Amino acid sequence: MKADERNDQLKFALDILNHPELLQEEYVREWLTHEENKSVYEECRLYLEAGLRKEVGERLDVTTEYERFNRKFMHRPGRGIWRWTAAAAAIVIIMVSAWWLAMNSDMGLREVIPMANVSSEQVVPGKNEAVLVTESGKTVVLGRNNMSDVEIEAGIVVRDDSVKGVNYSLGKNMAVHYHTLKVPKGAEFKIVLRDGTEVWLNSESELRFPTVFTGNEREVELKGEGYFSVTHDDKLPFVVVAAGVRTKVYGTEFNVRSYDVNDVNVTLVKGRVGVQRDDATREYALTPGENARFEGERPEITRVNVHKFTAWKEGYFYYENERVETIMNDLKRWYDFDVVYVGNRVKDLKFELWSSRDSNISAIIGLLMKTNKVHMKLEGRTLIVSEMNR
């Protein structure tokens, strides 16, 4: 089996496990009738359930658990699979960790966060939703319907598919229109552009794009964060413009993070891209596993753990020795709350954290407070973060 096919099987199987309601869909049931697909699904299901049943204590070694799961799939033939299996490992870790916090008899979850007045009705995980804005100013809310066709302009129809994302259907000889897809706080969304390129948008992000690509380039504009899987075309390079940084590709997968115009990151997963400032003449090439961080004109290019930059697209938070402020910025976009810091040093405290984006905010607060470094109190939609008194 080809690596890409195996990777797609793993993605689809874990999609079903994360969204069990999909088992009611005819196309999912048909997919599971194939013995090879069913085998992958059952293997993932049993492993995740094993994670839930695993007896762990006060000294839970999440690093060992992560590596054990990763090694299991790393032995599979084919390149590229590590990208998804790393995300799969994150499922196991957060399941085990959350279960441990909730069930630990010495300090259960309710005891860990006695001051966190968390209401699941007030602060909940984000959802699959976006607003499509046309040139004429018409707005269409997407993500609430499954497999429905919406005519947004004469001759322009989008199919709103909760699994595959939005796809465009155009009439013949249509003029080029520019649309903007806006993803608010507490949401994420996927769109398939006219050329087949897939784009995943993170919370508080925007993508401006033409309904049809013309000219010598396929250019789109990004605000916020997006993951791109670009359809290969030797004659028409794909260009992403984000906060003054141009990323040029012919067919590849990469992530662009541009929430801060003074801190833009381009992370290459596979293929090859060139990056440069809009007003610069020199282009810098990236190879898979490299990240280009722009603060000035010249990027700082380093080898990185790609999963750190792409985990959000697979449905996880993933941090390695990361500052509290960075973690909180991501959490508040996804859960849509505000953060207040008490003290000068608390923003710079660093943590490792793996968590599903479907997790209740109380579970994540509990994991962070378990370190005895920070205290957190949720009042309404405001999270108060302070350093733990020692």
Are 159 and 268 found together in one domain?
Answer: yes
Residue pair 211/168 in contact (Cβ under 8 Å)? The answer is yes
Task: State how far the Cα of 104 lies from the Cα of 366, in Å rounded to an integer.
Answer: 12
Domain boundary among 282, 308, 334: 308
pLDDT at residue 166 in the model: 73
Number of domains in the chain: 3
How confident is the model at residue 243, as a pLDDT? 94
Whether the Cβ atoms of residue 288 and residue 80 lie closer than 8 Å to each other: no
293 and 359 assigned to the same domain: no
Whether residue 287 sits in one domain with residue 242: yes
327 and 272 together in one domain: no
Of 261, 286, 308, the last residue of a domain is 308
Q: Three-state SS for 248?
A: strand
* Helix, coil or strand: residue 86: helix
> Are 215 and 277 within one domain?
yes
Question: What pLDDT is stored for residue 75 in this prediction?
Answer: 41
* Residue 120 placed within a domain: no
CA-to-CA separations, 41 to 27, 136, 162, in angstroms, rounded: 15, 45, 20
Integer CA distances (angstroms), 208 to 89, 133, 193, 214, in order: 34, 9, 11, 15
Pairing mode, strands 245-249 and 253-260: unpaired
Residues 158 and 201 in one domain: yes
Residues whose CB is less than 8 angstroms from the CB of residue 143 and which lie 6 or more positions away in sequence, other chains included: 127, 128, 129, 130, 160, 162, 187, 189
Q: What is the CA radius of gyration of the chain?
A: 22
What are the E-state strand segments in 148-307?
148-153, 156-161, 165-170, 178-183, 187-192, 198-201, 205-210, 218-229, 238-242, 245-249, 253-260, 263-270, 273-277, 284-286, 290-294, 299-303
Are residue 299 and residue 346 in the same domain, yes or no?
no
* Judgement on whether residues 294 and 343 belong to the same structural domain of the protein: no
What sign results for the dihedral spanned by CA atoms 105, 106, 109, 111? positive
Q: Where are the alpha helices (DSSP H) in the chain?
A: 3-18, 26-32, 35-53, 62-74, 81-103, 109-112, 307-314, 324-335, 361-369
| SS3 state at 226 | strand
On whether residue 199 sits in a domain, the answer given is yes
With respect to residue 139, please indicate whether it lies within any of the assigned structural domains.
yes
Domain match, 73 and 174 both: no
What does the DSSP assignment read for 320-377?
EEEEHHHHHHHHHHHHT-EEEEESSSGGG-EEEEEEETTS-HHHHHHHHHTTTSEEEE
Query: Does residue 115 sit within a domain?
Result: no
Domain-located, residue 188:
yes
Q: Is residue 119 part of a domain?
A: no
Paired tokens of 233: 């075309």
**Residues 181, 232 within the same domain:** yes
Same domain, yes or no, for 343 and 275? no
Q: In whole angstroms, what is the distance from residue 350 CA to residue 325 CA? A: 9
Q: Measured between alpha carbons, how far is 67 from 57 in angstroms, rounded to an integer?
A: 18
pTM of the model as a whole: 0.70
Give the residue from 308, 336, 353 where a domain finishes.
Answer: 308
Predicted local distance difference test score (pLDDT) of residue 163:
60
Res 390: pLDDT:
58
- CATH number at 174 reads 2.60.120.1440
Average pLDDT by stretches of 10, the chain with 390 residues: 63 72 77 84 61 37 48 40 40 40 36 38 81 88 71 73 67 79 94 91 96 91 97 92 94 94 93 90 92 88 92 87 93 95 91 83 84 88 87
Specify the CATH number for the domain of residue 380.
3.55.50.30
pLDDT of residue 307: 86
Assigned domain for 114 exists:
no
Same domain, 208 and 304: yes
Closest-CA residue to 195 (of 210, 208, 173): 210
Asked if residue 257 is part of any domain, the answer here is yes
CB burial string 348-383: b at 16+ within 10 A, e below: ebebebbbbbebbbbbbbbbbbbeeebbbbbeeeeb
| Domain membership of residue 327 as a residue range | 315-387
